[in-house]
Structure 1
Amino acid sequence: MILQATFLFISGAEIAFILFIVIMVFGADKLPEIARGLGKGMRTLKDATNDIKHEITKTAEKNGIDTSITKDVKKELDKVKDDLDDFTGSVKRKF
């Protein structure tokens, strides 16, 4: 069974219709301003999220909480990947 990925369960035709309505309501000359405002808002949200993550990590390290678990997991995954590459190296098909 093949599942089609959709963005927020909206098809392409519905997105086109929404864009048409937005252009009709705000006008084509206002769209760049709206897009710029949305971009700035998303950038601010991303920066705030990164600041919060940084503060949580700094506080955890200050209180002696081990934050290196992701590094350990990545190291283990890399080792498994290297072992798998070594094992399948001679079996891989050349295209």
Structure 2
Amino acid sequence: MVGPASIAIIAGVAVIIFGPKKLPELGRAMGSTLREFKSATKGLTDEDFESTKQKTVETNSANEVKAVEKIEETK
């Protein structure tokens, strides 16, 4: 588990390694990277949803056509 003491130690080491002037730049870079990753992941999820939705519509349409054909055969 990461507790407050661990976070403080990690922050202290980061300040020592990168320096206080470089940390805001690193934070911005990390934030933009996470934002881009999130939008790319959302795009993939949306594409999968649309693909599944389209297949469902096609399957339902085919099933309706078959049902109508069976009804017409019985007449």
Structure 1 length-normalised TM: 0.58
Q: Quick check: which one's helix share is greater?
A: 2
The DSSP-based 3-state class of the residue aligned with 1:55 is helix
Structure 2 length-normalised TM: 0.73
Question: Which residue of structure 1 lines up, in the alignment, with residue 22 of structure 2?
Answer: 30
> Residues 23-68 of structure 1: CA distance to partner in whole angstroms, max 9, x if unpaired?
0000000001000000001001110111011100110011117xxx
Aligned residues: 57
Taking the aligned partners of 1:51 and 1:64, their CA distance within structure 2 comes to 20
| Unmatched tracts of structure 2, length 5 or more | 58-75
| Unmatched tracts of structure 1, length 5 or more | 1-8, 66-95
* Greater relative CO, 1 or 2 (CA 8 Å, sep 6+): 2
Which has the larger Rg?
A: 2
Alignment of 1:28-67 (within 5 A): 28-64=20-56
Q: Which runs of 4+ in 1 moved over 4 A?
A: none
> RMSD between aligned alpha carbons?
1.0
Taking the aligned partners of 1:23 and 1:53, their CA distance within structure 2 comes to 37
